[in-house]
A and B are shown apart, each in its own frame.
Chain A
Amino acid sequence: MALLEVKQLSIQFGGVKAVQNVSFSIDAGIVYAVIGPNGAGKTTLFNLITGVYTPTSGTILLDGEAIQGKAPNELARRGVARTFQNLQICMNMSAIENVMVGAHLRLDRNPLKAALRLPSITRRDAELRTESAELMRFVGLDQYIDARADSMPYGALKRLEIARALALKPRIIFLDEPAAGLNPKETIEVDALVRKVADSGVTVVLVEHDMKMVMNLSDRILVLDYGKKLAEGSGEEVRTNPDVIAAYLGTHA
């Protein structure tokens, strides 16, 4: 059975149909890419699946359970993690604390125990700090383990988001343009990182404009255009699909 199944998903903002009747399914363990021209509805689709928006209609099944309209924190509980196209880093915290927030649901959040600094809390926090430093090394942020978030460069912050998402111990991770704004060298590094994440057993869903990276990484690709599903298939199928070529290059090209 597919890990994620999206059926007839739609959302409308006033008169704008940002996503219309989109259906697809994602098997566990693969890298799935969503591509399409600017404004095609890729990020909206992510926002729908990760609970930031509530769909106007349609169903989303995660492991058979309907999750449409559930809040992001309830989805986090079910192992859904994501990063953001426009960075969402907590600049008021240190880099490693940002990663530690990702592990929120795996911790004892009782404020009274915390205020009394009970050993159970501090011990777990110390373990988590080690674990988070390990995650930062995993995403290649070795040199920023003691840094403040607001002192880090853009490329490093993009990885920090991935580390935070991984701290959730997700089953499925949604990466919204992980390579956007990065230079070619950084892009290759992120490419390798996404591969590593997929190899660790997490299902990866990716929105990305860098076609080389998409073709290189993805097992399957969904193409959106004007909020509608244009095509879906392997890299080769998508690349040779005449509708896709038309959408990207124009019909008279």
Chain B
Amino acid sequence: MKRSVYLGLYVVIAILLILPFVLPNSFYMDLAIRMAINAIIVLGLNLLIGFAGQISMGHAGFLGIGAYASAVLPTHFGWHPLLAMGAGVVVTGLLAAVLARPIFKLKGHYLAMATLGLGIIINIILRNEAALTGGPDGMSVPPLGLLGFDLTSDKHWYWVVALLLSVSVWASLNLIDSPFGRALRALHGSEVASQVAGVDVVRYKVAIFVISAVFASLMGSVTAHYVGFVTPNFADFFHSIELVTMVVIGGMASVYGSLVGAVLLTALPQALSSLEGWETVAFGAILMACMIFMPRGLVPTLAAKFGRGN
């Protein structure tokens, strides 16, 4: 991989630095924050789907675990929010690691079904444990205290999320261009060839599944604190599908594609809201057009068109 891929990171940082000064009002600020949060989740998911060639149709479940860890533990048990966030990450990581072993014996549609089931189970638990989670109505989340002051204003949230996004992009680029990342891409390219080269295929699939699940859990916690309220919809099936769609539309195995996919699909419903009732139809039509004309996703297709790799 060439040095030039890091150029994109500088562009991302530049945009993140300028954005708060050009956004006209808090509505756009809120949109930008949600885009950035989604972008981080999609980055993690793209490592799993795009780079390692595996699928997860239940990633919103992990997001839900993080979100509810941040809601339930401080509210009912008086934990510090950062500790709760950590607990969410640990629980998600362990759950993903334990379940990934049997799940990754499966391939293709079976793998998709297994991960889908996992996401649905998490969603059902959140819905039914009403005493703790507030059931379908959800529950409010205490603010996140950092270094003695509470994160409440959009401005503060923006900078926190922008920093997280920049670090995530950097770390993802690093990871892909490393022995670990090459092993992931190799098992995608040819599982048997990577195995013969010494890659412990199952172990790598499990590792990247855990990493991407932890990304989702962490951002679930961040979303919960930012929004101040969680509902089981955080963890529902449609949210999982939405995340996978962001990966596919932006471009599989493309770091910057993840960002583009997340930004577009977060903005699109807003942009289409003037269509009053027809927005879902327009949304679907746009997705279909993308898949028909750019099956590899926006960024890889455009990059190939203009003669640049990645």
Interface residues of A (CB under 8 A from B): 50, 52, 71-73, 76-77, 81-82, 84, 88-94, 97-98, 100-102, 104-105, 107-111, 114-117, 121, 125, 148, 161, 164-165, 167-168
CA distance A211 to B44 in the complex (A): 51
B26 at the interface (CB under 8 A from A): no
Chain B nearest CB from A63 CB (Å) reads 18
Cβ B195 vs Cβ A84 within 8 A: no
- Residues 177-195 of B at the A interface (beta carbon under 8 Å): 177-183, 185-186, 188-190, 192-195
Write the chain A residue with the least CB distance to B188: A92
Which 10 residue pairs spanning A and B have beta carbons closest together?
A: A90-B189, A114-B178, A76-B198, A88-B193, A107-B179, A105-B198, A115-B171, A88-B190, A117-B174, A72-B195
B residues in contact (CB < 8 Å) with A: 1, 170-172, 174-175, 177-183, 185-186, 188-190, 192-201, 207, 211, 253, 309
Interchain CA distance A204-B82 in the complex, whole Å: 58
Decide: B185 and A92 in contact? CB cutoff 8 A: yes
- Also in contact, A115 and B175, with CB within 8 A (given A89-B190, A90-B193, A110-B180): yes
Contact A90 B185 (CB under 8 A): yes
B154 to chain A, nearest CB (A): 29
Contacts of B207 in A (CB 8 A): 111
Complex CA–CA separation, A219 to B245 (angstroms): 57
A91 and chain B: residue at smallest CB distance: B189
Closest to B192 in A: A88
Question: In the complex, which of the residues A111, A116, A125, A168 contacts B198, with contact meaning CB atoms closer than 8 Å?
Answer: A168
Contacts of B190 in A (CB 8 A): 88-90
Q: Is the CB of B195 within 8 A of A104?
A: no
Contacts of A52 in B (CB 8 A): 192, 196
Are B197 and A84 in contact (CB-based, < 8 A)? Answer: no
Partner of A92, one of B180, B195, B253: B253
Tell me whether A73 and B199 are in contact in the complex, defined as CB-CB below 8 angstroms, given that A97-B182, A104-B183, A116-B174 are known contacts. Answer: yes
**CB pair A109 B180 closer than 8 Å:** yes
Residue of A77, A101, A107, A125 near B194 (CB, 8 A) is: A101
Choice from B177, B189, B199, B309 contacting A104 with Cβ under 8 Å: B199
Asked if B180 and A76 sit within 8 Å, CB to CB, the answer is: no
Contacting residue for B171 out of A77, A116, A164, A165, CB 8 A: A116
**A residues within 8 A CB of B178?**
111, 114-115, 117, 121, 125
Nearest A-chain residue to B184, judged by Cβ? A111
CA distance A92 to B1 in the complex (A): 12
Q: How far is the CA of A76 from the CA of B183 in the complex (A)?
A: 14
A111 touches B175 (CB 8 A): yes
Nearest residue in A to B191 (C-beta to C-beta)? A88
